[in-house]
Amino acid sequence: MVTVNNLHKKFNQNQVLKGVKLSIEEGKTTAILGPNGSGKTTLVKIILGMVLPNQGDVIFNNENIKNSWSYRKEIDYLPQIANFPANIKVQELINMIKDLRNKPARDKELIEYFNLGNYLNESLGNLSGGYKQKVNLLLTFMFDSPFIILDEPTSGLDPISLIRLKEFIKQEQAKGKTIIVTSHVMNFVEEVASHVIFILDGKVYFDGSLNSLKEQNKNVDLEHAIANILKENNV
């Protein structure tokens, strides 16, 4: 579904991506992992067309995304940090995003699923971090698109909300959706992802199934397998 060819990205003197090559398979959940500053979010933003690479291409459904924007209609995106005005009410925000996307929405279903019914008239500034994240998740999943990108989706969630999120992701997987997730919570990744891409210093150091990564590391858990990659590369 997505092919990344030889991506390079530099911010001033900081070379963030260094010839990244990878593929995101349709219908699978792929975790893009790496330490802070490894280039994960930059890669995601290039796929979304929010950042332009210095070199390389992104192919989405067999078409180069250069000078294109329509492909984004097929993508739902949860940013790592979603900044909305603190004085806007939850229902007002939902209505605004629905007007902007102009697509059929399943907001009522998700309001109930994430237990947001009592907070629709609250301003975002009055919500806890966990409830803000649930609003962001509602906005992300609201349009039922075939491709979903989740950048640190577990941020601020309590254990019950985290369980609900994992259950919802599994429902989306059952529909055959393609999902990219970045996260520092390895047990969450193990539960939802089948494919792992590990990025370090702007380069891909592993690209394969979760099971093969574990097998290469004597069937340890994902956290220890990643630690082994870091150790092997003196990080």
Q: What is the mean pLDDT of residues 185-194?
A: 93
Where do runs of H (alpha helix) occur along the chain?
40-47, 90-101, 107-113, 129-141, 159-174, 186-192, 210-216, 222-232
Q: What pLDDT is attached to residue 235?
A: 65
E strand or H helix at 16, and its extent? strand 14-24
Q: What pLDDT is attached to residue 161?
A: 93
The pTM (predicted TM-score) of the whole model is: 0.93
Q: For the segment 58-90, what is each residue's pLDDT rounded down to a tens digit?
A: 999 989 998 888 889 999 999 987 788 899 999
Q: What is the mean pLDDT of residues 219-227?
A: 85
* 225 C-beta neighbours (distance < 10 Å), count: 22
Residue 129's identity, in one-letter code, is: G
Instruction: Tell me what the pLDDT averaged over the chain comes to.
Output: 92
Q: Are the beta carbons of 139 and 97 closer than 8 angstroms?
A: yes
Token pair 């902007």 is found at 100
The yes-or-no verdict on residue 185 having pLDDT over 70 is yes
Q: For the segment 128-172, what is each residue's pLDDT rounded down to a tens digit?
A: 999 999 999 999 999 999 999 999 999 999 999 999 999 999 999
Q: Are the beta carbons of 63 and 72 closer than 8 angstroms?
A: no
Q: Positive or negative CA dihedral for 172, 67, 152, 235?
A: positive
Kindly list the strands in the beta sheet with 55-60, ordered across the sheet, starting from the edge strand earlier in the chain: 14-24, 2-11, 55-60, 63-64
* 9 C-beta neighbours (distance < 10 Å), count: 22
Q: What is the mean pLDDT of residues 43-61?
A: 93
String of DSSP letters for 139-195: HHHTT--SEEEEESTTTT--HHHHHHHHHHHHHHHHTT-EEEEE-S-HHHHHHH-SE
Rounded Cα distance between 137 and 192, Å, is: 16
Q: What pLDDT is attached to residue 229?
A: 83
Token pair 């907070």 is found at 119
pLDDT exceeding 90 applies to what percent of the chain?
74
Q: Are the beta carbons of 72 and 49 closer than 8 angstroms?
A: yes
Domain 2-82+146-232 -> CATH class:
alpha beta
Q: Positive or negative CA dihedral for 201, 207, 209, 212?
A: negative
* 160 C-beta neighbours (distance < 10 Å), count: 10
Domain boundaries, the chain: 2-82+146-232
Burial of 69 (0-12, 13-18, 19+ CB in 10 A): exposed
